[in-house]
Structure 1
Amino acid sequence: MTDAPPEEIATTDHRIAVQGGGLFARRWLPAGAGAGAPTILLFHDSLGSTALWRGFPEALARAAMLPVVSYDRLGFGGSDPARAPLGQDFVAAEARIAVPALLDRLGIGDFVAFGHSVGGAMAIESAAAFPKRCRAVISESAQAFVEDRTLAGVRAARTQFADPDQAARIARHHGDRTRWILDAWIETWLAPERSGWSLDATLARVRCPVLAIHGDRDEFGSDAHPRRIAAGVAGQSRLLLIAACGHVPHRDRPDLVVAAVVDFLREAGL
């Protein structure tokens, strides 16, 4: 008995015009994906981009047999530079501004929102904003409120990235916008006015199934975050705590994450 050949994946790149500039987006489309299948929309973390997902989107598309789309937020990766600092409403603003443009320009009907770190909060905001089109949410290492552990991790990163050699690691992916990206992450989270932020009100408006993934060694948040996410949504939820895993499960335990997501989506009928 021979192994089946790997599923063919077509990859295409796109430019999406939004308020403030243009976004870079990439789509992975399995040859066997059914017509009308929901698209998995990926939301990257505070220092991320499509390139930094590495091989995960293709692996997810292949295993789930669903289209996957990743995009770079304004100011990140291949998207246009941002013209202003992030506002404190930047998480909710992503669902109001970027997501409608992506869905429209890429012809996406129903979707699954998958977000890493702050992208997980953006995925949840998108589910609340599009209750009839968002079929499921996967939050990975998402923050649901401002925790002392999160702020301590951000302060440690501020010290780390004061070293030019460490900042150069980010510059390899973001070029001359590196300083803006670091400030957008660090200064926004450490601002006094952020102390009362939480996803509680948004979670109460989420009706679709939710999978909350978290590593037990996540340096940017305790397991209080996925527990709050899973308990706070109106729809069905599942919690996955990964042992001996830090803030980036899709990099540290990619096979486990892909398998968990595929099982979750199958149970949700997708």
Structure 2
Amino acid sequence: MQETQGFFSIDGRQLEYQLFAPSKPCDLTLVLLHEGLGCVAMWKDFPRQLAELTGCSVLSYSRAGYGGSDPCPLPRPLNFMHHEALDVLPKILTAAAIEQAVLIGHSDGASIALIHAGGLVDPRILGLVLMAPHVFVEELTLASIRAAKVAYEKTDLRARLTRYHNANVDCAFFGWNQVWLDPDFRDWNLEAYLPQIEVPVLLIQGEDDNYGTVRQLEAIQTQLSGNGELLLLPECGHSPSRDRPAETLRAITDFLQHHFKVVS
């Protein structure tokens, strides 16, 4: 297993990346898209384990304003996920010379994957794995994001996030938090993208997710043009890869073996 770390230069900004490449070549690359408070480092050992189990290369990168990537101005525009999906992500795939990919997104990253797959005709995208995706705004989500703001200002949450984002910590937190709590964001909705998605999709969510309900997955599954498989994990919160890593890895591996005949 070879690990490579570096930076992509995208639109004048340096975006950090990490790539795990198995010794035996595989045509398929798994591209990880992090959550609203995530980054390369917050995936921890999940990318390496995924590469070892599937035999695929696994690429993760930090969006601008996160982790070790360059900062970005605040406030973020309300359509920042569309910008990431339709403008930045295609350039990342090109910079990494990826010809066949499955996008594996978590939370905001899952929504970015949906926008990309439904908003562009990109033949490089062969499938999607969506962990805790959002396609519309729920009051449960907003309540948890309000609580996160209080925790950031009054507890050690900022210090804990600083370990991953360093100087970007305020950019990462408020760039996410302010958008979701903006009153104009209540009408945000991605359901129009779903009928255009024809590739296989795996949907994963924890039964105890405090940032979204199963309504999100049901809306996606019923409106996709292609195949949508749903997995609900008991005793699991908003982060399946952290709360139930073994089950999440097994589900992704089975999905990839079924649809793309990967060799684990």
Could you state the TM-score of these two structures normalised by the residue count of structure 2?
0.95
Decide which of 7, 15, 22 is 2:14's aligned counterpart.
22
Amino acid in the other structure paired with 1:156: A
Decide which of 114, 126, 140 is 1:124's aligned counterpart.
114
| Secondary structure of the corresponding residue to residue 80 of structure 1 | coil
Matched residues in 1 for 2:25 and 2:172: separation? 35
Q: Could you list the runs of 5+ residues in structure 2 that have no partner in the other structure?
A: none
Decide which of 86, 89, 94 is 2:84's aligned counterpart.
94
Q: How far has the Cα of 1:17 moved from its partner?
A: 1.2
Amino acid in the other structure paired with 1:168: A
Aligned 8 A contact 1:141 1:215 in 2: yes
Write out per-residue CA displacement over residues 106-152 of structure 1, whole angstroms, 9 at most, x where no aligned residue.
11001100001111001112222244221100000111110011001
Aligned 8 A contact 2:98 2:124 in 1: no
Q: How far has the Cα of 1:164 moved from its partner?
A: 5.2
| Secondary structure of the corresponding residue to residue 19 of structure 2 | strand
Amino acid in the other structure paired with 1:240: L
**Is 1:190 the counterpart of 2:178 in the alignment?**
no
Aligned 8 A contact 1:24 1:78 in 2: yes
Aligned 8 A contact 1:211 1:230 in 2: no
Partner of 1:4: none
Aligned 8 A contact 2:66 2:171 in 1: no
Matched residues in 2 for 1:253 and 1:73: separation? 25
Matched residues in 2 for 1:148 and 1:133: separation? 35
Q: How far has the Cα of 1:103 moved from its partner?
A: 1.3
Q: Could you list the runs of 5+ residues in structure 1 that have no partner in the other structure?
A: 1-8
Amino acid in the other structure paired with 1:247: H
Q: How far has the Cα of 1:45 moved from its partner?
A: 0.6
Aligned 8 A contact 1:41 1:70 in 2: yes
Q: How far has the Cα of 1:33 moved from its partner?
A: 3.1
Decide which of 19, 22, 28 is 1:38's aligned counterpart.
28
Q: How far has the Cα of 1:73 moved from its partner?
A: 0.2
Matched residues in 1 for 2:206 and 2:24: separation? 32
How many aligned residue pairs are there?
A: 260
Aligned 8 A contact 1:207 1:234 in 2: yes
Partner of 1:206: 197
| Secondary structure of the corresponding residue to residue 137 of structure 1 | strand
Partner of 1:56: 46
Q: How far has the Cα of 1:20 moved from its partner?
A: 4.7
Write out per-residue CA displacement over residues 148-168 of structure 1, whole angstroms, 9 at most, x where no aligned residue.
110011011111111252211
Matches within 5 A, 1:36-185: 37-128=27-118, 129-163=120-154, 165-185=156-176
| Secondary structure of the corresponding residue to residue 195 of structure 1 | helix
